[in-house]
Structure 1
Amino acid sequence: MALYSKEFEVKARDFDSAGEVSSNLRAILKQLSLAPDIVRRSCIVCYEAEMNIIIHSYGGTIKIEIFEDRIRIIAEDTGPGIEDIELAMKEGYSTAPEEIREMGFGAGMGLPNIKANSDFMDIKSSKDGTVVVAEILF
């Protein structure tokens, strides 16, 4: 059973709100006095998941669950899904449109950064959307 659980809505193309969920997570984890490395890794995972929803989907949610020994971040969106997960995991591969790249986003590091900063990561994707589950142990 989670000690803390909260779900946040993330809207497609809402770049003005980008980073709000990860900022909320940072504040919560600092209140819990977790190690700086755990806070940093968790916020990177959350931010990258948040940006992926904003850039690539029709909108979705990020659910944060904090347990005694880990943080679980569940990013779920509706949208076109990821056609080739293996390819999407390669650093630098991106399907972001040019206008997103011109804004400085969509460099193809989202999923690789989530994987690099989590102890567990799972992706399920279909034409109806994507679910990314990541856990950071402490």
Structure 2
Amino acid sequence: MTENFLKRYSFNIAANDFINAGKASSAIKGNLKSMGINAHIVRRIAIISYEAEINIVIHSLGGQLHCDLYHDRIVITSNDVGPGINDIEMAMTEGFSTAPESVRELGFGAGMGLPNMKKYSDDFKITSGSNGTEIVITIFL
């Protein structure tokens, strides 16, 4: 974090917690709206943070979602503990999903999470290994 850092919102996300899925991204959206952030930016951040949160719930053993506010940008960071992503290029393909059928029956796991995160970001970085995945997304203000 640099000298133009303003605030951090952090949330612990539990694996398979579909009852609370979406609460962290809703809180981020509400906080940004109350700060007077541009509605278009808030919408992009809401989509990105929701997709990141749902991916943690579906595909990991749990993790954290952070929203860092700076004077010139907002950075969403998703860190999870889990098996990682075997083929990032394939996972970035719209409609590709490794979600189990039980998750799809709940209406999740359509394979749009990572593509949507990248689509609505200004900068998208993903690293994944056998211990988990980290996604860092930047939106410039």
Fold conserved between structures, TM > 0.5: yes
The residue number in structure 1 matching 2:102 is 99
Structure 1 residue 52, shift from structure 2 partner:
0.2
Structure 1 ranges of 4+ moved more than 2 A? none
SS in 2 for 1:118: coil
Structure 1 residue 37, shift from structure 2 partner:
0.5
CA RMSD of aligned residues (A): 0.6
1:127 to 118, 127, 130: 130
Matching residue's letter, 1:43? A
Matching residue's letter, 1:65? D
The residue number in structure 1 matching 2:90 is 87
Aligned-partner Cα distance in 1 for 2:69–2:24: 14
Long gaps (5+) in structure 2: none
Is structure 2 residue 41 aligned with structure 1 residue 38?
Answer: yes
SS in 1 for 2:56: helix
Structure 1 residue 9, shift from structure 2 partner:
0.1
| TM-score, structure 2 normalization | 0.96
Pairing of 1:1-138 with structure 2 (within 5 A): 1=2, 2-138=5-141
Alignment size in residue pairs: 138
SS in 2 for 1:17: coil
Long gaps (5+) in structure 1: none
Aligned-partner Cα distance in 2 for 1:19–1:76: 16
Aligned-partner Cα distance in 1 for 2:82–2:95: 21
| TM-score, structure 1 normalization | 0.98
Query: Which protein is richer in helix relative to its size?
Result: 1
Structure 1 residue 78, shift from structure 2 partner:
0.3
Structure 1 residue 34, shift from structure 2 partner:
1.1
Structure 1 residue 69, shift from structure 2 partner:
1.0
Q: Which moved more, 1:72-81 or 1:23-32?
A: 23-32
Percent pairwise identity:
50
